């Protein structure tokens, strides 16, 4: 296990493209960190700099307190699983797992013990004689993970390792990877563009956009206390609803109602935002059907309902705004009907539309 320190890390590619800006993060021993963000935000570049596959243009990278910028990939004692599993097709599962140790000249009986142990952890014992082509996608993925963790390394890097699997396999492998992490305990950095994967697996999530860190926090933190509109919209499925408004006399005209902001903002903040453009945000699951106390109450036209089993997504129009509400399937409203819904004050967010930063509530 190792702890990592990334201090002011930047990546500027030879063509001048600045892919990662001032990346700062302290990663504790044994922590499971997920890097998330849309395509092209710099997740893989960051991971590859940690692995030693890309040089660091500026900043300092430390492993266990020792500068590692100039260390080669092998020296860093880091193992990596890529999107493509890159198994050797002509070798059996056993030989694929053993390969790294064989190269290192480890004794055969020790290799056998380690391969059997890893195969047991990963549920591959019955498949050791098979070639990769005779395995399912999920089983291949487990061999790739096994090959990486069989060498005792301090840090384990994974770049979208589940992207080739179907939806069901992804869910299974997700819990398997968390389970393996618990058993092996290696510091893990996991790259994904899938916020559900990050929410379910990570100790802490790093949300990136355009090469910049937007927020670092526990899944709980990011969901309940997003620092800006990007994080608020990225974490959570379906995404948070936003309604653009401007503050007039301490109120906003939101969805046809006059919404008093003194319920959620301090007098200081009310003064600061008078006359400014803001966005009211609330999560699809943060609403209550009908009219309740201590809440903003709105009236909406139902345009589409999607029954998903454990909930129904209700697509509504309120004036010009299209919104999504999440309701209990038993409460699914009729198409084209008019419904009333409430956003309790504690579930309402307000964002500064100039900076897109969240406005601190009282």
209 binds ligand ATP (CB under 6 A): no
44 binds ligand ATP (CB under 6 A): yes
Contact 155, 5 (CB under 8 A): no
Q: What is the largest CA-CA distance in the chain?
A: 78
Residue ranges of E strands in 58-147: 58-63, 66-67, 78-81
Contact 281, 351 (CB under 8 A): yes
CB of 17 to ligand ATP, least distance (A): 4
Among 4, 6, 19, 202, binds ligand ATP (CB under 6 A): 19
55 binds ligand ATP (CB under 6 A): no
Stretch that binds ligand ATP, among 36-44, 124-132, 176-184, 216-224 (CB under 6 A): 36-44
Among 41, 124, 227, 247, binds ligand ATP (CB under 6 A): 41
Among 130, 193, 200, 263, binds ligand ATP (CB under 6 A): 193
CB of 86 to ligand ATP, least distance (A): 16
Q: What is the CA radius of gyration of the chain?
A: 25
Contact 51, 78 (CB under 8 A): yes
Q: 105, exposed or middle or buried, with CB in 10 Å at 0-12, 13-18, 19+?
A: exposed
Rounded distance between C-alpha atoms, residue 327 and residue 12, angstroms:
46
43 binds ligand ATP (CB under 6 A): yes
Size of the site for ligand ATP (CB under 6 A): 13
Stretch that binds ligand ATP, among 38-46, 70-78, 182-190, 194-202 (CB under 6 A): 38-46
CB of 39 to ligand ATP, least distance (A): 3
250 binds ligand ATP (CB under 6 A): no
131 binds ligand ATP (CB under 6 A): no
Cis upstream peptide for 238 (omega within 30°): yes
195 binds ligand ATP (CB under 6 A): no
CA angle 218, 222, 226 (to 5 degrees): 150
Catalog residues that contact ligand ATP under the rule CB under 6 A: 13, 15, 17, 19, 37, 39-45, 193
């Amino acid at each position: 296990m190792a702890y990592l320190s990334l201090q002011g890390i930047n990546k500027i590619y030879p063509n001048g493209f600045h892919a990662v800006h001032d990346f700062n993060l302290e990663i504790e021993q044994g922590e499971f960190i997920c890097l998330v963000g849309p395509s092209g935000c710099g997740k893989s570049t960051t991971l590859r700099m940690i692995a030693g596959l890309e040089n660091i243009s500026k900043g300092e990278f430390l492993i266990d307190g020792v500068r590692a910028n100039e260390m080669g990939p092998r020296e860093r004692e880091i193992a990596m699983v890529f999107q493509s599993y890159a198994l050797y097709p002509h070798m059996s599962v056993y030989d694929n797992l053993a390969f790294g140790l064989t190269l290192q000249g480890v004794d055969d009986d020790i290799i056998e013990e380690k391969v059997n142990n890893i195969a047991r952890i990963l549920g591959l014992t019955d498949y050791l004689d098979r070639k990769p082509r005779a395995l399912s996608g999920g089983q291949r993925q487990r061999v790739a993970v096994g090959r990486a963790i069989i060498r005792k390394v301090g840090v384990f890097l994974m770049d979208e390792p589940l992207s080739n699997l179907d939806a069901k396999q992804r869910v299974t492998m997700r819990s398997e990877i968390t389970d393996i992490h618990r058993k092996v305990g290696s510091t893990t950095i996991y790259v994904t563009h899938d916020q559900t994967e990050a929410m379910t697996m990570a100790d802490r999530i790093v949300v990136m956009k355009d090469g910049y860190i937007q927020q670092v926090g526990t899944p709980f933190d990011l969901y309940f206390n997003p620092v800006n509109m990007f994080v608020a919209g990225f974490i959570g499925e379906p995404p948070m609803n936003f309604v653009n408004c401007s503050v007039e006399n301490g109120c906003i005209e939101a969805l046809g109602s006059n919404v008093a902001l003194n319920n959620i903002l301090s007098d200081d903040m009310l003064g600061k935002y008078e006359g400014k453009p803001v966005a009211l945000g609330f999560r699809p699951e943060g609403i209550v059907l009908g009219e309740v106390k201590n809440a903003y109450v709105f009236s909406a036209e139902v345009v589409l309902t999607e029954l998903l089993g454990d909930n129904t997504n209700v697509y509504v129009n309120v004036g010009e705004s299209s919104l999504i509400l999440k309701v209990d399937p038993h409460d699914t409203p009729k198409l084209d009907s008019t419904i009333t819904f409430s956003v309790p004050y504690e579930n309402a967010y307000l964002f500064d539309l100039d900076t897109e930063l969240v406005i601190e509530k009282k």
